A = this chain, B = another copy of it.
Amino acid sequence: MSVLVVGSTALDSIKTPKAENPRLLGGSASHAAIAASFFSPVKMIGIVGQDFPKRYLALYRKHNIDLTGLQIAEGKTFHWSGEYEVNMNNRRTLSTELGVFETFTPHLPESHKNSRFILLANIAPSLQLHVLDQIKKPKFVIADTMDLWLNIALPDLLTVIQRVDAFVLNDSEAKQLTDEDNVLKALKKIHRLGPAYVIIKRGEHGSILSGPSGLFVAPAFPLERVVDPTGAGDSFVGGLLGYLASTKGSIEKNLRRAIIHGSATASFCCEDFGLTRTTKITAADINNRVAQLEKMVRF
């Protein structure tokens, strides 16, 4: 089944201690949509400016991403610029130019409103809700977020959390949202806000799923070289939902394996700047890492 992805479509300029990369293809929707595309057909909702490079549109198309819902507007594409410190764990935003995102209202083409698997990738919660309002009969809705929305749009974010099947956030966001240091206590509080499934991302330490059948502790794929982790969280949730939409049977039955596919997909994202590595791999490469992860946790 196809996956509908809404999120940011951006140009990212990324500095690390070793290199500088201007105007890479970025944004949560770009990472998530391409990650999902390895497993399911993807429809992407977003907006870019007239400066958006044609080669990036070609890259979406190469991954069979339906761009009917991608607006090309007058003005400049959303541009994020950031810098990583030596250990790649701390990121600093240098500048954010919203450009065409400033006035973005996502209108879903009629053909998109029947989508069943919905990924509300990281973007303003009001936009996530605006998309969700247009979906007729969702089967599984998953939302991701970031600390910015906890700080400036908490009421909208709480409405998102209440309306989704699965909510994804990282451990520091979980702590901020719940005022709980302990991950189990934080999970309980987030469930009380609505979602049946909560997934806490822990970077190189993997992720934890909490749901009706208890906890699932998922490893990250261990990497010898992390070049640029930007978009890894978006790739994770994209790979996850793309895989899930491709499976038969219950969500409950398939979600754990979907998370592992998300982990494996995200690992490639970290191995080069932006989407450079991810756009060079195939589903077989991801499946190979899934098989390796399977061996790594077996006892």
Contact = CB atoms under 8 A, between A and B. Distances in A.
Contacts of A256: 298-299
B208 A205 contact: no
A87 interface: yes
A295 interface: yes
Contacts of A294: 299
Interface in A280-299: 294-299
A110 interface: no
A268 B260 CA distance: 29
Interface string A206-222: 10100000111111001
A259 B299 contact: yes
Interface of A: 86-87, 181-185, 202, 204-206, 208, 214-219, 222-226, 256-257, 259-260, 294-299
25 contacts: A86-B181, A87-B181, A182-B223, A182-B224, A182-B225, A182-B226, A183-B204, A183-B222, A184-B223, A184-B224, A202-B205, A205-B205, A206-B217, A214-B295, A216-B296, A217-B219, A217-B222, A217-B296, A218-B299, A256-B299, A257-B299, A259-B299, A260-B299, A294-B299, A297-B299
The 4 closest A-B pairs by CB, nearest first: A256-B299, A205-B205, A217-B219, A184-B224
The secondary structure that dominates the A interface is mixed
Contacts of A86: 181
B182 A214 contact: no
A296 B215 contact: yes
A21 B92 CA distance: 42
Contact of A297 (B184, B204, B297): B297
Contacts of A225: 182
A296 B182 contact: no
Q: Which of A185, A205, A297 has the most CB of B within 10 A?
A: A297
Contact of A224 (B185, B223, B224, B257): B185
Contacts of A202: 205
